[in-house]
């Protein structure tokens, strides 16, 4: 909105040209979402408590979690509000990249809201059935991917090349059929959404890796889509950063930096109240939505495979559940004491804060490894 207004009024107010810079709007988006979250969470938590919107705890979970029963949940609602307001204020609302990211985020958030409501309404941890949840998620992701890869939104978004991490994007890429690429992208978005949801089992555990991943994608999106004007002998030349770094070139993707910054700001505000012992949980409304956001960052910035490193924590959490379920069905034996894997470490006697902080550290290390791919090609 600010960018649009600045373009209307910049002839009268030259200072408004600052809104043209993605870096300035990125800082603004982060600050706005942070202020919204920090200012409104105390009131929001009181409202949740007054309406008795509390967490339902699994009876077969770690005993240390029984005390969490009744803790206000659905805190992800305010995360999404903060993100949406910030993106509308600071983002380029004409950008297809912004809308393609926000549509799955909002739809997944609504799905999570319904899931949370049903759990609280009927006092159990089931909510929406797994099949119903996957159906809505997949149809949403598939619809977005169809719009992209069918060419309906232009040739730039219809790019179905897949790039290999640590390999020059200009030297090698895999060109896939649109239907296959779109199917894989939709599955990836849905998978990451549910992986974040599985990770959200300890105080502060999911939100920090989400912020770390968002920061990593912010860097990648800015470098993939941005360019710098350099003046040489009175002539301005455009320096395309993706060409220099040998990474995928995605003109327009730099606008996702604003969205990622809004996620980080809202995440920091939420973490203030979600850190151990948590005063509020994000619930499925937050976890499913944020996972979908990360999934869209991945495919829009052409970093699908690199996301396996960036979101390594989420991948491991999801694989631990798949492994546990498969092993039990085939052999009747469990690989882990409890899945997802963070509960396995709790069952081994690790205090909750130790598990959480160590997972945070791992997520940061994985992000640094992913960022090293900018030069190691």
Task: Tell me which DSSP letter residue 350 carries.
Answer: -
Residues contacting 334, CB < 8 A, separation 6+: 324, 327, 328
pLDDT (0 to 100) of residue 95: 94
Average pLDDT, the chain: 91
Where are the domains positioned within the chain? 19-373
Phi, psi for 240 (deg, rounded to 5): -85, 115
What are the strands, taking DSSP E only, across the chain? 161-162, 174-175, 227-232, 235-240
pLDDT digits (tens, 9 = 90+) for 52-68: 888 776 656 666 666 67
Alpha carbon distance 283, 200 (integer Å): 8
Phi, psi for 304 (deg, rounded to 5): -60, -50
pLDDT (0 to 100) of residue 348: 94
pLDDT digits (tens, 9 = 90+) for 248-289: 999 999 999 999 999 999 999 999 999 999 999 999 999 999
pTM: 0.94
Per-residue pLDDT, averaged over 302-318, amounts to 98
Residues contacting 337, CB < 8 A, separation 6+: 343, 344, 347, 348
Provide the β-strand partners of residue 72. Answer: 54
pLDDT (0 to 100) of residue 14: 67
Residues contacting 323, CB < 8 A, separation 6+: 335, 336, 339
- Residue 188: which of 111, 314, 295, 327 has the closest Cα? 295
Q: How would residue 175 be classed by pLDDT, with cut points 50, 70 and 90?
A: very high
Higher-confidence residue of 172 and 266: namely: 266
Alpha carbon distance 20, 28 (integer Å): 12
pLDDT (0 to 100) of residue 120: 87
Q: Is the separation of the CB atoms in 103 and 144 below 8 Å?
A: yes
Q: What's the helix, strand, coil split of the chain in %, to 5? A: 65, 5, 30
pLDDT (0 to 100) of residue 63: 64
Alpha carbon distance 8, 327 (integer Å): 61
Task: Tell me which DSSP letter residue 360 carries.
Answer: H
- Model confidence at 228: pLDDT above 80: no
| Token code pair at residue 237 | 């030349």
pLDDT digits (tens, 9 = 90+) for 81-136: 999 999 999 999 999 999 999 999 999 999 999 999 998 887 766 778 989 999 99
Q: Is the separation of the CB atoms in 89 and 28 below 8 Å?
A: yes
pLDDT (0 to 100) of residue 352: 95
């Amino acid at each position: 909105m600010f960018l649009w207004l600045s373009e209307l009024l910049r002839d009268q107010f030259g200072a408004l040209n600052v809104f043209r810079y993605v870096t300035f709007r990125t800082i603004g988006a982060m600050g706005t979402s942070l202020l919204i979250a920090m200012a409104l969470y105390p009131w929001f938590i009181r409202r949740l408590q007054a309406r008795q919107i509390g967490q339902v705890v699994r009876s077969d979970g770690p005993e240390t979690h029984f005390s969490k029963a009744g803790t206000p949940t659905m805190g992800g609602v305010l995360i999404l509000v903060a993100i949406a307001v910030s993106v509308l204020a600071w983002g380029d609302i004409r950008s297809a990249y912004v809308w393609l990211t926000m549509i799955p985020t909002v739809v997944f958030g609504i799905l999570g809201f319904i899931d949370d409501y049903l759990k609280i309404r009927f006092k159990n941890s089931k909510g929406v059935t797994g099949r119903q949840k996957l159906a809505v998620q997949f149809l949403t992701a598939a619809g977005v991917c169809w719009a992209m890869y069918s060419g309906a939104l232009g040739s730039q978004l219809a790019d179905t090349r897949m790039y290999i991490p640590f390999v020059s994007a200009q030297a090698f890429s895999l060109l896939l059929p649109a239907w296959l690429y779109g199917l894989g992208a939709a599955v990836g978005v849905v998978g990451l959404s549910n992986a974040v949801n599985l990770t959200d089992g300890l105080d502060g555990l999911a939100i920090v890796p989400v912020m770390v991943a968002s920061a990593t994608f912010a860097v990648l999106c800015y470098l993939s889509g941005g360019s710098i004007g350099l003046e040489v002998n009175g002539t301005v030349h455009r320096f395309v950063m993706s060409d220099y770094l040998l990474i995928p070139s995605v003109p327009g993707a730099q606008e996702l930096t604003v969205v990622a910054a809004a996620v980080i700001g809202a995440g920091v505000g939420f973490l203030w109240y979600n850190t151990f012992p948590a005063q509020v949980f994000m619930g499925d409304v937050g976890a499913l939505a944020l996972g979908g956001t990360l999934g869209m960052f991945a495919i829009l910035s052409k970093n699908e495979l690199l996301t396996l490193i960036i979101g390594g924590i989420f991948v491991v959490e999801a694989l631990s559940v798949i492994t546990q379920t498969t092993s039990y069905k085939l052999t009747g034996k469990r690989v882990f004491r409890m899945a997802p894997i963070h509960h396995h470490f709790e069952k081994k006697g690790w205090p909750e804060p130790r598990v959480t902080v160590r997972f945070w550290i791992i997520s940061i290390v994985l992000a640094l490894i992913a960022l090293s791919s900018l030069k190691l090609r």
